[in-house]
Amino acid sequence: DGGITQSPKYLFRKEGQNVTLSCEQNLNHDAMYWYRQDPGQGLRLIYYSQIVNDFQKGDIAEGYSVSREKKESFPLTVTSAQKNPTAFYLCASNHGYTEAFFGQGTRLTVV
Amino acid sequence: GESVGLHLPTLSVQEGDNSIINCAYSNSASDYFIWYKQESGKGPQFIIDIRSNMDKRQGQRVTVLLNKTVKHLSLQIAATQPGDSAVYFCAEASTGANSKLTFGKGITLSVRP
């Protein structure tokens, strides 16, 4: 059945490492988004993409990178430049002027 | 009261009462609005949406009101149930190039038995 899948559910990163979070959707949605959520806080936009091979920075893009080589996939890399990466990361997708569907999130912890 | 900064404000209601959750948005160009519900450790789930050519929309037990003059959005939940306890977010978007979905800070709804 259709949906948006994030993996892994839990991820541990050593300081100085880059890690990549996966987001895949089979909803044929054009737009995809990455949000960061810290405990007890709202969702902050990291990057978004309206179309394949194009993406824009959100409000907190520093220390993150993305790619959009395929419509179905929008991986997020948390680089060593991100000084405080421990958070809950949410990926979403939508099509045109409709509600966004969310994945179940990846909880990233620095160890 | 409103919490500025890190933590989400909380709304506490008695089971069976109606809940009203408010949201102020900042972008006057926004023309599409959505309410989401997020349970602990999960991704947000769609509740109801409204476009800027409307000022009210009703779903099952929920109603969204939009006041574009003061840039205010509200979610009304009728006969609140324990299962409604969650964090609620409003989101806004505008048409045009590079349109993005931006979320409000969120409010925690706590239902007292």
pLDDT tens digits for range A1-51: 569 999 999 999 888 899 999 999 999 999 999 999 998 788 999 999 999
A42 and B8 in contact by Cβ < 8 A? yes
Q: What are phi and psi of A19, to 5 degrees?
A: -135, 150
Question: Which residue does chain B place closest to A102, by CA atoms?
Answer: B43
In percent, the amount of chain B with pLDDT more than 70 equals 91
What is the count of residue pairs from A and B with beta carbons less than 8 Å apart?
64
Test the A interface: residue of B6, B57, B102, B110 with most A CBs within 10 Å: B102
The string of DSSP codes covering chain B is: ----SSSPPEEEEETTS-EEEEEE---TT--EEEEEEE-TTS--EEEEEEETT-SEEE-SSEEEEEETTTTEEEEEESS--GGG-EEEEEEEE--STT---EE---EEEEEE-
A28 touches B: beta carbon within 8 Å: no
User: Stretch A54-61: mean pLDDT, rounded?
Assistant: 95
Question: Which residue does chain B place closest to A100, by CA atoms?
Answer: B46
Q: What is the pLDDT of residue B46?
A: 93
pLDDT at A76 over 50: yes
pLDDT at B2 over 60: no
In percent, the amount of chain B with pLDDT more than 90 equals 68
Q: What is the pLDDT of residue B27?
A: 85
The Cα of B100 is separated from the nearest Cα of chain A by a number of Å equal to: 7
Question: Would you place residue A88 in the very low, low, confident or very high pLDDT band (cuts 50, 70, 90)?
Answer: very high
Q: What is the pLDDT of residue A44?
A: 92
Q: Provide the CB-side half-sphere exposure for B44 (13 A, CA).
A: 32
